[in-house]
Structures are given as C-alpha cells and as structure tokens.
Homo-oligomer: A and B are copies of this chain.
Amino acid sequence: MSNSASTTPIVPVIMAGGSGTRLWPVSRETMPKQFIAIVEDGMSTFQTALRRVSGPEFSAPIVVTGEEFRFVAAVQMQALGITGEIVLEPERRDSAAAVAVGALIAARQAPDVVCLVMAADHVVHDDAAFVSDCLAAAEAARDGRIMTLGIVPTRASTAYGYIELGEPLASPGAHALARFVEKPDSARAEAYVEAGFLWNCGNFLFAADTMIEELAERAPEVLEAAREAVASGARDLDFLRLDAQAFRAAPKISIDYAVMEKTARAGVVRASFGWSDVGTWDSLYEVKPADEQGNVLEGPVSVLGTRNSMVRSEGPLTAVVGLEDLVVVATPDAVLVAARDEAGRVKDLVAQLIGQGHAQATEHLRIHRPWGWYQRIDIGDRFQVKHICVNPGGTLSLQRHHHRAEHWVVVHGTAEVTIDGEVKLYHENEAAYLPIGCVHRMRNPGKIALKIIEVQVGSYTGEDDIVRIEDVYARA
C-alpha cells in the first residue's frame, strides 16, 4: 500500500437498487423505500446516506441503482447539490456484482483507493460517529483488510447475521473477524449477544485492489461479468449504463457469500453509532419517537384505546380502536394492517398481491417520469382523469393516441402545447382540446411547476395507447 493513499478521500459506493417490498404499501417496486421520505420529513434515506458521506473525508459518490430509478436518483442528488457517478444495473444481480462494479470504477482513480460500500436504505443516528468509524476502518483497509462495521446489538434479534470478533489489529479500534454466523434462532441469538458478537449490517470498507483480488480468487465469474459490463457500458445523459448482456452473466450471489464468509482478510470495527436497517414497519416503529401510549402516529390518524402501535396515513383519515402492537399504513390506493411482530411477512404478502394481479403491489398511484409525474384521479367507462405535473423545463414526448381525445385544463403554471405542428401557450384557467389522432406535445417553458388536469374521453384509455414520435429522454 502506498503512503499517499492514507490522505486520499474514501469513495462511497452507495447501493441503491433494492426493492424494499417489506415497507409496502409506501415502498413499491416502481419507487422503493430508499427514494421515499419515509423516516425523515422531506428527505429519503438515499439522501441522508449521501449527506452522511458528503464531508471532506469522502470523494464524490458512486451510486449503483436500477435503470428505472435513474431520474429519481439524479433529481434527489441534484436537490442536495451532490454530483457523482450514477451506474445503472440493467437488472438486479445481488450485491457481489454491484460491489464488483463499484470497486472497478473506483479503481480508475487509484488502484488502492479505499471504498465504502453502504446501503441507501439504512438509518444512522450519529453521522459524525459513522464518519469516525469509517476513518478507523479505512486505516485497516489500507493495510489490506476488508472491513465491516459491526453493530452493537440492542436486543437478541433473529433478523440479522452476527459477527464474532477476533484479535485486535494494528489500527486502533479494528479487530480481525473470527467468523460470520447466519441469522440464529432466539436461544442462539441470546448467547451471541452475551458473548459480545456484533450485527453484520452489510456496510464494508476495502481498498479497491483488495476486493478485486478477492473476487478474482473467490468469484471470478462475478468479477469478469462486472469488468465486461463496465468496459462495454454506455454513457447515456449523465448515467453510466452497464452493458446488459455482460452484466446478466454475473451469478446472483451476495457479497457476504461470495467473499466475506470466505476471505482470510476480513476485519471489523465496532460501530459507535446507532443504526437501523428500517427493513420492516416494526423496525421503523422502533426508530420513531412514540407518545405516552407507545403509539407512533403520522398523518391524518386518530386512535381510541390503542397502544404500542404505528398508524400512518398518506391520505385517508385512519382510525384504530381497541388494539395493540399493530402497524396500520394507509395510502390513497392501498392499506396495510399487520401485527407488528409479523411485519416481516409483508414481503410474502406483496408476492401474494402480485400473484393476484393487483397493480398496487408494485406500482404507485403517482407515476414518476423524467419530466415530472402523473396520477390518475378518476376512471370510468370511456373516460379517465389525470393530474399531471411537469417540472420547469420538462417536456413530454411528441405523441398521438388512437382511441382517445384529451382536454387539458391548466390549473398552475404555464403550458406550451403543440398540436399538429401549431405551438401555443396556455396559462392558468385556460383549456386545450386534443382531438383523437392529433400529434401533440406538452412542455413547461416556465420557472414554476406546471399542473394540468387531463380529461381523457374515448373507447380505450389504457397507458399503452401512446404512439411516441419523438422524446427528449430517448424513450421513443
């Protein structure tokens, strides 16, 4: 290891590709929990993760996420004034492939640059402590170790894997890692806590070349697929799109199984910060302040004779009577009621809902697009009504419908509307009519959001009756 490395900032590799189904119905596959302000008002955990590693100890982050989340990731980084590399996975191939990609891209800066692989959906209660633990781990990483941050257990949880510490390393606070143990039963969990084992939270620090060497030895197919996917990747707007064919060759395996449980170089730093993976509604309940009855109440909710429960609404007035240890989460199009200690089964529930063909299982009512979002507000026989919001500068594709006419009423901002080649501005309280078959486009030329109520009338109002003729976001 060169001496100069010790002053090089750490490269955060933020894993933001998860689907977060256990926090359904707020988190859904098309807009998962890491991008939603689910813990902190107005800020997603992806954003709090970015903020956590925005100090001088870190360089610009590498964000690894799914193709479908590229715009939301970019917008949320932009909102914090943070720039970085956004790497797009064509599909989920588990964490080993994502870590390999991160290490390979970071290694372009310097082969031995230290990387911090961190999840975009965790909560850390003390960012300064997190940074200082990272610096301690980074020192050991520069000595060739692959370091984990081990969380001091707050209870004998059966939901996490555990870490047994080995002998102290040269770097202060760092230990060798004696062994990883799988998620235990509750008797074993108590014994582990008793013996001073730590939780494996899945955040790692390593020098890029160390990880690449380990992958080459223990998961060569993963490494080769990742190397090829990066090398043949394409730049699209501000994104690095991994080569799909190459990336799909990577075996689906976690970094824990592929490397961490096998390597002789694993180490651990005992975390000095409070942590939660907010993986379930129950764990979210645990990190939120409760009232005197032990309830966490969010949004328009009201309870009577109810204790130790989480009741959260993003729309409907939600009332709970005479119950305990419950999670109730209401959104405008889906409601979850679960026993708190069964909250982990929401993942199975979502699989069941998908099997039953419920669109709400994976899609939100509000559909995000590169130019803003839209939301259905009414539907009936031969008509549909949408609320459309176009960001300043946003442009919808030039398009045509075969089966519906549309009425657009501007309720906020200014619209530039093109109908069969004719361009006209529409202001608040003005309406445009788009007959069936016309070629049209909407753009927000202004400085504030454009909001439109769109009334569709016709024999078919499905989303697939769009002929895209031209699109600034390359979707035509």
Instruction: Enumerate chain B residues within 8 angstroms of A25, measured Cβ to Cβ.
Output: 317, 319
Tell me the dominant secondary structure on chain A's binding face: strand
Residues in B with CB closer than 8 Å to A319 are: 25, 334-337, 349, 353
User: Nearest chain B CB to A311's CB is how many angstroms away?
Assistant: 8
Which residues of chain B have C-beta atoms less than 8 A from A330's C-beta? 316, 330, 335
Total copies of the chain: 2
Given A300-B358, A457-B411, do A338 and B320 touch, yes or no (CB 8 Å)? yes
Give A352-371 interface residues, CB cut-off 8 Å to B.
Answer: 352-353, 356, 358, 360-361
Check if B304 sits within 8 Å of A323, measured CB to CB: no
Interface pair B407/A349, CB less than 8 Å apart? no
Q: How far, in Å, is A286 (CB) from chain B's closest CB?
A: 18
**A455 interfacial contact with B, CB 8 Å:** yes
Given the complex, which residues of B lie within 8 Å of A409, measured CB to CB? 407, 455, 457
- How far apart are A335's CB and chain B's nearest CB, in angstroms? 4
Query: Does A382 lie at the interface of the complex (its beta carbon under 8 Å from any beta carbon of B)?
Result: yes
Q: Which of B304, B345, B383, B387 contacts A321 (CB 8 A)?
A: B345
For residue A361, give the distance in angstroms from its CB to the closest CB of chain B.
Answer: 8
Contact A323-B339, Cβ < 8 Å, known A412-B381, A453-B383, A455-B453: yes
A322 interfacial by beta-carbon distance below 8 Å? yes
Q: List 24 A-B contacts (CB under 8 A).
A: A302-B349, A302-B356, A302-B358, A315-B333, A316-B331, A316-B334, A316-B335, A317-B353, A317-B358, A319-B337, A319-B349, A320-B336, A321-B336, A321-B339, A323-B339, A328-B337, A330-B335, A337-B337, A378-B387, A380-B412, A381-B412, A383-B453, A385-B385, A411-B457
